Chains A and B, each alone.
Chain A
Amino acid sequence: MIRPLRYSLRMISRARGSALLRSGAVAVAAALTFFVLAQSSTVRAQAQDLAVGGIGVDTIERATISLTIIAVIVGALQVGVLMTRVVLQRMQEIGVLKAAGISSRDIFLVFLFESLIYGFVGGVIGCLIGLLIAVFGPMPGGEEILRAFAITVALSTIVATLAGLAPARRAVRAPAVEAINHAW
């Protein structure tokens, strides 16, 4: 586990610009998640206090869940597309690894870890962005922020990793010779 992870980190650190861009794409979805989660409890409390006619706690709950689901889907699609592009870009490298007899498991993990890292870093960046946006609304309490932070980062990491499964499998399944010749 540790060696594929180390290799992923090395490749990410060398492609700093594009890596940041990929994390940024994840961050947008994560920011939405964070914002919604952080605000929902505040809004819910206010709704209860004011007993605003029509806006029940249920409605807020439902809106929170829907927005989170949308953010998760957007984030998953983004990671899926980004990682597919990464795998295609690195076909030649994949071919070399295969020719050198690197195991499918290690090749798979290299790309899966890359997705995971984008999910995690994007999650953290997203929370920071979400926090900036939250300043303009009713400021949530420290506890809400922490809770939203934890959920967002965990969700982002898990979703990105799951979305990275298909591209990583694609890397493993690429026929070695075609990969080396960079036939696509």
Chain B
Amino acid sequence: MNENQEAPDTGPEPVVETRDLWKLFKLGDEVVKALKGVTLAVDPGELVVIMGPSGSGKSTMLHLMGGLERPTKGEIILEGQPLSGLTESQLSTMRHRAVGFIFQSYNLIPLLTATENVELPLVFDDVDTDEVRRNCAELLERVGLGHRLDHTPSRMSGGEQQRVAIARALIGRPRLLLADEPTANLDHKNGEAIIELLTTLNHEMGMTTVISTHDRSVAEHASRVIEMRDGKVISDSGPGQATSDNHLATA
């Protein structure tokens, strides 16, 4: 190996990067442009909040960044890997390894207990079941549900269900946590608690996190706020303290 050919140090490699990202949806005869050329990079340890009104393309953005959908045009680079070259099954493996998703409507499996929901991403892996179980219990404790391990979702409040969903997103130790309007179905108090939890995870575990929301108060916790309108980024506070001082050398 020739180490001399390495690129000069330009700070940390972004966890995820998008280049001129376009996403069109066909709705009958109509074509909806959900994303119109979005370019951005999320560095390790950032807590990014994507703000924007309904229909501005936030969900589409998160789905693409997490490799859940393919762009119409442009490139996504996840952990240094361009996604366009991957087959469906490689993309799936990439999601499995690198990404944790949290959804607005929690999406827990009603028939499974909290623990079983959390272990879901790993139940098909060739891993030690007892160890996974222990990690599930630990994670559930961490999100404040140590006393709810064997409860099914129907016996939990919305806030509790979203905590289970957060634990589920973390069980595979992802590099990137994507939360699509995680508080939209919660009242203010519970929503606040969920954001605080995500903030804590970001600070303590260095979990790179992207949250979409249309709630302005969520942005207060962010190291970086990106505003979207009509499929475009209209403002970006830029990488904050969480990243190298590369971009902020003038400060």
Contacts and interface: CB of A to CB of B under 8 A. Distances in A.
A177 B92 contact: no
B97 interface: yes
Interface residues of A, number: 24
A92 B121 CA distance: 14
> How large, as a class, is the contact surface on chain B?
20 to 34
Contact of B121 (A7, A101, A176): A101
A101 B97 CA distance: 8
B112 A14 contact: yes
A98 B120 CA distance: 11
A176 B95 CA distance: 12
Interface string A3-32: 110110011001100000000000000000
Which secondary structure dominates where chain A touches chain B? helix
Contact of B68 (A11, A106, A177): A177
A181 B135 CA distance: 28
B234 interface: no
Contacts of B172: 100
Interface of A: 3-4, 6-7, 10-11, 14-15, 92-93, 95-104, 106, 176-177, 180
Report the 6 A-B pairs with minimum CB-CB distance, sorted nearest first.
A101-B96, A101-B95, A100-B121, A14-B111, A106-B124, A99-B101
Interface of B: 63, 66, 68-69, 88-89, 92-97, 99, 101, 103, 107, 109, 111-112, 116, 120-121, 123-126, 168, 172
